[in-house]
Amino acid sequence: LVSPLLLESAQHQMAQRILVIDASVETQVTRTVSRDDSTEDGVKAIIKVQMDRESRLEKADDIIANNKGLDELHIAVDALHNTYLALASSQ
């Protein structure tokens, strides 16, 4: 289940584990502005109305930091994927 509003809605009740891919607000703004045709103020306004970062991280069972490059992200995702496969096979 992939949902940007998972924690803001009742959808989180359908999940056994919650993974948050986290990046600093500064990183989120920089990446969004460069990827989309958005302004810095527009991106910050969107972030402001979302669940705050600390609350999101508190609700996570697993967190992957996404403040580096894609290679590091892929390594972290692969490692956690293997953990999830092990958890699934033990149930």
pLDDT truncated to tens, each residue of the chain (91 aa)?
A: 788 789 988 898 899 999 999 999 999 999 999 999 899 999 999 999 999 999 999 999 999 999 999 999 999 999 999 999 999 999 8
pTM of the full structure: 0.84
Query: What's the rounded Cα separation, in Å, for the pair 45 and 25?
Result: 12
Nearest CA-CA partner of 22 in 77, 71, 83: 77
